[in-house]
Amino acid sequence: SRLVREHGIKVVLTGEGADEMFAGYDLFREGKVRRFWGHQPSSTRRARLLERLYPYLTRSPVHQQAIARQFFGHDIRAHDAPGFAHDTRWRTTSA
């Protein structure tokens, strides 16, 4: 800590919070895809970008387009709302 101050370093990033800071979680990438999709909600190509995020989930709704569009497309026009990236998780956990 003293060495950091002596070198004039004002901020030190550690692993704590780094994912949130640099959007490392799939959740934040998902939010970016959903925002992009939200600008053209009727686009089927934009919705398919979700398949690139979750190809490893064999039971993922992404593998069934109708379910994926319903799940990830819920309230898609609200893509500018605060917390939009977290909306899908908040909805499922609140149920």
Within-domain flag for 67 = yes
> Could you give the count of Cα atoms lying within 13 Å of 56 in the half-sphere of its Cβ?
2
Q: What is the pLDDT of residue 15?
A: 64
> Under 8 Å CB-to-CB from 71, ≥6 apart: which residues?
61, 88
Within-domain flag for 53 = yes
Within-domain flag for 14 = no
Within-domain flag for 54 = yes
Within-domain flag for 11 = no
Helices 65-72 and 26-38: crossing angle in degrees, nearest 10, is: 90
Tens of pLDDT, residue by residue over 51-62, are: 887 776 656 655
Whether the predicted model's global pTM rises above the 0.75 cut: no
Distance CA 68, CA 54 (A): 11
Give the count of domains, the chain: 1
Within-domain flag for 87 = yes
Per-residue confidence band for 92, with pLDDT thresholds at 50, 70 and 90: confident
Q: Residue 34: name the closest of 79, 87, 94 by CA.
A: 79
Within-domain flag for 37 = yes
Q: Residue 82 sits in which domain range? A: 23-94
Within-domain flag for 34 = yes
Q: Residue 53: name the closest of 71, 33, 74, 69 by CA.
A: 33
